[in-house]
Chains A and B, each alone.
Chain A
């Protein structure tokens, strides 16, 4: 099974989280912070810190550490708030 991440194919095993699959594929960070552009990946790994955010099939701000990977998912790095259209 595999999902795509920023256009690259990531192979994963059954039950693996997106975050675990990305780490297994060699990624250590996959987004940058909003203000300072600092790299972020899995920090707490248990859903608390919201550092490992990704966009899953168009849904922004999903925690890679809690999101179970599914075959064919399209996953993109999370940049910005993911809610820019709400700005007023």
Chain B
């Protein structure tokens, strides 16, 4: 085959689909089930609003266009793709100033960002607290059900001839492919789309990249009618996303889903792959959500879940061919933005492997950009 993708999560599925659509012969290996790893802990954000101008924002802008066309092609309802837009809320004067500055710089890069007053916030989101200073509306932000989307893109890839091998672990690399728990597989290119475990795969291949887990919890409410129309989050979310703090950070992100449940994120902690539930973190998320949407105090939670974001020290993903190991290609390390950025990542990988000129310069994402001491 031409391309062997390691990982059947959202990014691996997008790589498989775009490569198959470009005429390449594609195989996918996944040690668990489809979307059972990094993707299963996601919230389904497709955001331009939380990105500072730069390479990641360019990737996000390309991705929102691609997601819209995936929705048109395959049926947005099949994976609950909703172009609902995002609303960012500032609750202090300082946060409002910072948000207005960010929105202005984003507009200069082609983001549709509209400054909104506290009165306009109330009409955009009637159930929102009135204790707000201002905000911004981002019509390009979208939401998707990540597991359904990964499954749909794999289904489409298979209809184009791709094969998907779940329950199959990669245990080593060979000269022309990989050794797996089900035997050797050969391919001209091997794509590392192993999400938070991308660092382990890279190390197996002899080309380390510094990808580490950043834990997050999400709370799930009982089903509700439409109680919020957009993805709504507090302005300090952007600062937390870009933060290098190892300790607990929370900044509330709230959105309704097609099923009626409301999802409440987002916490960030660097605690390795610790899967223990942390009640203090859940309490803090709930309290912040109630501060934003007071009615939530009367709503029951059904459950919570956790996931591990794959982060790199510079908060940029690793995308493209690895000059250290011919045939090795990376598509991982997207931190908390992998669902949103998956479409552009798959598209760019397919362009790279078919010899086309990529729509974006991949230099900021190159796998060998990290200093030797960082990768150990």
Contacts and interface: CB of A to CB of B under 8 A. Distances in A.
Main secondary structure of the interface of B (DSSP, over half): loop
Nearest to A82: B222
Contacts of A83: 224-225, 227, 299
A50 interface: yes
A88 B126 contact: yes
B260 A34 contact: yes
Contact of B127 (A34, A50, A88): A88
A70 B260 CA distance: 31
Contacts, number: 31
Contact of B227 (A34, A50, A86): A86
Nearest to A50: B302
Contacts of B139: none
Interface residues of B, number: 16
Interface string B224-248: 1111110000000000000000000
B300 interface: yes
Contact of A87 (B223, B227, B299, B300): B227
Contacts of A34: 223, 260
A81 B225 contact: yes
B225 A86 contact: yes
Interface string B286-305: 00000000010001101000
Nearest to A48: B303
A61 B224 CA distance: 11
Contacts of B222: 50, 61, 81
Interface string A32-50: 0010000000000000001
B226 A87 contact: yes
A84 B223 CA distance: 11
24 contacts: A34-B223, A34-B260, A50-B222, A50-B302, A61-B222, A61-B300, A81-B222, A81-B223, A81-B224, A81-B225, A81-B260, A83-B225, A83-B299, A84-B225, A86-B127, A86-B225, A86-B295, A87-B226, A87-B227, A88-B125, A88-B127, A88-B226, A88-B227, A88-B229
Interface of A: 34, 50, 61, 81, 83-84, 86-88
Given A34-B260, A61-B222, 11 more contacts: A50-B222, A81-B225, A83-B224, A84-B225, A86-B224, A86-B227, A86-B295, A87-B225, A87-B227, A88-B226, A88-B228
Interface of B: 125-127, 222-229, 260, 295, 299-300, 302
9 nearest A-B residue pairs (beta carbon): A87-B225, A88-B126, A86-B227, A83-B224, A81-B224, A81-B223, A61-B222, A86-B295, A61-B300
